[in-house]
């Protein structure tokens, strides 16, 4: 490896660290599949093509076929268009409304790929394949404020990868994944005011991890060019668990009754940093795709993607000293014998992607796509913390394929099915209603080959 290459790697990592500080956002569950604008133009149906540096995310098997140094950097602008909630009886009732702060997030991606020799290739990618921001407007009146006012999960991956070209038309790729993530959960605390026997806000709780915590995993990819016109690919990224440590902080809200405020204040450790721990099991995911060149200029790819969201069983928050344990558990109350448990109980989920690529000139392409993305979230746990739904995404893109400067632009209109909740898990909060979300995504990737 030349010094120039090493210098490039350093640049990629440094820039990634800067970019990753911005909050990523969206995707099935809390995944983000939009990790390169070329692939995004085809709705992510790219596993059997994997012919630009975003192969490091879409299919590491494509790395085996790299024959030139190539660098690419870009971002997806996720722009929320609508994210509303309407309540249903018994609670919070049909008169209850909520509106999310509309997303405007830029999950970035940076990739560098290069041949080592005819057989072996290498690359490194930095991207944000998971992320979430659900933040509700008017947090002191939003009817779901005792469940969540803001949930934010940021994560970025550093993904060094080796490609092995076994034969001229068959390649494998193997990578290591370092995932770096931080999390923030905010909500209000409600209690019964004994003077009115109705619910009042008595405080806020903000739980935030200290900086980025890390977890590690691996990935694998296979790409087989069966004929010049037909290829298929397979990609797998492993499950990664991250344990977070951070602080919980309680802030008092006055109920308007001085006696009650004093009693609550005497019993609650307000304005203290309470050490807490939590963890998230990020799912593994597998994709399989087939691409067929219908004519020399027209290619169609169909992909199926499986995500092992059943790993996301629950979020458990535990106090890490006696004071914090008395607030969050474990053992604060019988119900908190394990800590504060937010059950999720997600299911593994599929999505299906159709992409079309049309060569409009020797170095330019139009791309179109459609994705149906199945929600992993059972109805009972759809909540203000993370309301998910089945989605239909429609994409279009255009790009120049180099050599030299390359650029790709893409756009996706993402329509979530209306998500209704009319039931709850036993002993878990009742919070019925309908979530209605749409978003636009805009991708831009610039590269040099």
Binding site for other proteins (CB under 8 A): 87, 89-96, 143-147, 187, 190-192, 194-199, 259-260, 263, 334-335, 427-431
| DSSP single-letter state for residue 267 | H
CA 87 from chain centre, in angstroms, equals 26
d(C-alpha 180, C-alpha 209), whole Å: 12
Least CB distance to other proteins at residue 189 (A): 8
Least CB distance to other proteins at residue 187 (A): 7
Nearer to other proteins, 146 or 352 (CB): 146
d(C-alpha 173, C-alpha 177), whole Å: 13
Q: What is the CB-side half-sphere exposure of residue 53 using CA atoms within 13 A?
A: 32
Burial 313-342 (b: 16+ CB within 10 A, else e): ebbbbbbbeeebbbbbbeebeeebeebbbb
Contact between residue 400 and residue 448 where contact means Cβ atoms under 8 Å apart: no
Report residue 57 as tokens.
Answer: 């995310």
Least CB distance to other proteins at residue 150 (A): 14
Nearest to 441 by CA among 18, 83, 73, 35: 35
Least CB distance to other proteins at residue 417 (A): 23
Nearer to other proteins, 92 or 171 (CB): 92
> Residue 265: enclosing H or E segment and its boundaries?
helix 258-267
Residue matched to tokens 């009693």: 263
Q: Which residues pair with 383 in a beta bridge?
A: 386
Nearest to 324 by CA among 211, 210, 205: 205
Least CB distance to other proteins at residue 385 (A): 10
All residues at 6 or more sequence positions from 155 whose CB lies less than 8 Å from its CB, including other chains: 24, 128, 129, 130, 131, 179, 180, 181, 242, 282
Contact between residue 3 and residue 92 where contact means Cβ atoms under 8 Å apart: no
Q: Which residues pair with 84 in a beta bridge?
A: 99, 436
Least CB distance to other proteins at residue 276 (A): 18
Radius of gyration in angstroms for the set of CA atoms belonging to the chain, rounded to a whole number: 24
Least CB distance to other proteins at residue 327 (A): 14
Nearer to other proteins, 38 or 187 (CB): 187
Contact between residue 311 and residue 282 where contact means Cβ atoms under 8 Å apart: yes
Nearer to other proteins, 2 or 333 (CB): 333
Least CB distance to other proteins at residue 94 (A): 7
Nearer to other proteins, 364 or 430 (CB): 430
Nearer to other proteins, 78 or 151 (CB): 151
Contact between residue 204 and residue 185 where contact means Cβ atoms under 8 Å apart: no
Q: Which residues pair with 290 in a beta bridge?
A: 232, 302
Nearer to other proteins, 191 or 290 (CB): 191
Nearer to other proteins, 26 or 431 (CB): 431
Nearer to other proteins, 146 or 236 (CB): 146
Residue matched to tokens 């169909």: 302
Nearer to other proteins, 53 or 248 (CB): 248
Least CB distance to other proteins at residue 253 (A): 14
Least CB distance to other proteins at residue 270 (A): 18
d(C-alpha 232, C-alpha 171), whole Å: 11
């Amino acid at each position: 490896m030349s010094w120039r290459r090493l210098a490039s790697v350093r640049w990629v990592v440094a820039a990634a660290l800067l970019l990753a500080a911005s909050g990523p956002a969206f995707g099935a569950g809390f995944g983000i599949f939009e990790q390169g604008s070329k692939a995004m133009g085809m709705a992510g149906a790219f596993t059997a093509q994997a012919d630009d540096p975003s192969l490091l995310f879409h299919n590491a098997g494509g790395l085996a076929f790299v024959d030139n140094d190539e660098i690419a950097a870009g971002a997806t602008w996720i722009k929320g268009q609508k994210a509303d909630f309407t309540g249903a009886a018994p609670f919070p009732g049909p008169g209850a409304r909520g509106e999310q702060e509309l997303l405007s997030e830029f999950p970035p991606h940076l990739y560098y790929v290069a041949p080592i020799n005819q057989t072996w290739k290498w690359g490194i990618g930095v991207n944000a394949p998971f992320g979430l921001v659900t933040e509700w407007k008017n947090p002191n009146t939003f009817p779901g404020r005792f469940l969540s006012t803001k949930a934010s999960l940021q994560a970025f991956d550093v993904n060094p990868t080796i490609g092995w070209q076994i034969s001229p038309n068959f390649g494998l790729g193997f990578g290591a994944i370092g995932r770096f993530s931080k999390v923030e959960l905010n909500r209000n605390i409600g209690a019964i005011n004994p003077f009115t026997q109705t619910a009042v806000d008595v405080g806020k709780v903000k739980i935030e991890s200290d900086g980025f915590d890390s977890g590690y995993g691996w990935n694998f990819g296979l790409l087989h060019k069966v004929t010049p016109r037909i290829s298929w690919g397979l990609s797998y990224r492993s499950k990664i668990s991250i344990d977070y440590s951070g602080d919980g902080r309680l802030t008092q809200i006055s109920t308007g009754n001085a006696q009650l405020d004093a009693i609550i204040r005497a019993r609650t450790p307000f304005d203290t940093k309470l050490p807490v721990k939590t963890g998230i099991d990020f799912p593994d995911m597998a994709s399989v795709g087939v691409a067929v060149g219908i004519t020399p200029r027209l290619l169609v790819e169909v992909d199926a993607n499986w995500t092992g969201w059943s790993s996301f069983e629950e979020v458990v928050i535990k106090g890490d000293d006696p004071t914090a344990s008395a607030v969050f558990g474990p053992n604060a109350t019988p119900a908190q014998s394990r800590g504060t448990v937010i059950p999720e109980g997600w299911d593994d989920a599929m999505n299906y992607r159709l992409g079309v690529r049309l060569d409009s000139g020797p170095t330019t392409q139009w791309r179109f796509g459609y994705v149906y993305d199945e929600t992993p979230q059972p109805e009972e746990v759809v909540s203000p913390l993370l309301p998910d739904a089945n989605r239909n995404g429609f994409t279009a893109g255009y790009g120049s394929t180099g050599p030299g400067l390359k650029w790709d632009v893409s756009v996706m209109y993402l329509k979530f099915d209306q998500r209704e909740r009319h039931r709850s898990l036993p002993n878990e909060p009742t919070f019925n209603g309908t979530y209605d979300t749409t978003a636009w995504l805009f991708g831009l990737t610039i590269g040099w080959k």
